[in-house]
Amino acid sequence: MELSVVISHYRSRPLLKLCLDSVRRAVGSGRTQITVSDSATEAGPMAAFAAEYPEVEWLWHDENVGYAKLINHGLQKSQGEFVLILNADIIVLQGTVGALLEYMRAHPRVAVAGPQLLNIDETRQDSAFRFYSPAVILSRRTWFGRLKWFRRKLAAFRRADRPAVVVPEPVDWLMGSALCVRREALNAVGHFDERFFMYFEDVDLCRRFWEAGWEVHYVPQAKVIHYHQQQSRSRSVFDALLNPYTRIHILSAIKYFRKYGLKVPRYGA
């Protein structure tokens, strides 16, 4: 089997329906394994919904187990040479699956390829980044981001010097909302690190790929729509204490820097 699709879902059934319908259209009648890894959803309403998609394998979790564990459960069940990892808030546009698979076949050292993420109005979202430094965390989560030096650090992190990339290129890391991953590379470095409950698991996986001699590429001709909500965005220490998503993001950042130290490597463009 060439392709498996693993979708993470947490209490967003209307978006999941859009995602599954788009995957159906994108893969057509070809032999593709589709798995939804579902977290903390009431079984009754979801049972009727799941019946609408008999080709999908459903993995149920009684509690919110975190993104990394959700995806890893799906990866353990997957059989494809390539695995398309999706959040439930992704709509796969026509031609995207073919473009990603063609690129992966042509570039055997690429462990993961990420499509261009678009807003609903089809403007571009940031999804390819350089590796984090502590200054970037402060820039994104506190009022330090208003200061010129921190703004420069954040712009470099977001690759603001490469705003209109139209051809594939290597990047440090890709947002985990939509990734096409090579099984051989996953077998070499392992799955997502479940110590990251939410956030930084994608950064960590991409860094492990690079450190093991694999590559991470952004493929902008492949496109998906992402219903993205910046749940962890806070602008003060007080906000951070009140916003649970910001607290999780900061805790994941601490785990990341404990794991790798403060050195910021550069692999991609």
The pLDDT value recorded for residue 78 is: 97
Domains defined along the chain, listed by start: 3-132+161-230 (3.90.550.10)
The pLDDT value recorded for residue 139 is: 87
For residue 177, the one-letter residue type is: S
The pLDDT value recorded for residue 184 is: 98
Averaged in consecutive runs of 10 residues, what is the pLDDT profile of the chain (269 residues)? 96 94 91 92 78 94 92 97 98 98 98 97 95 92 84 94 89 98 98 95 99 98 86 48 77 96 94
SS3 of 32, please?
strand
The pLDDT value recorded for residue 146 is: 87
Q: What is the CA radius of gyration of the chain?
A: 18
The pLDDT value recorded for residue 239 is: 54
The pLDDT value recorded for residue 185 is: 99
Q: In whole angstroms, what is the distance from residue 48 CA to residue 101 CA?
A: 33
SS3 of 224, please?
strand
The pLDDT value recorded for residue 241 is: 52
The pLDDT value recorded for residue 238 is: 47
Contacts 24+ apart (CB under 8 A), 139-147: 140/233, 141/232, 141/233, 141/234, 141/235, 141/240, 141/246, 141/249, 141/250, 142/234, 142/235, 142/236, 142/237, 142/240, 143/235, 143/236, 145/235
What is the reported pTM? Answer: 0.92
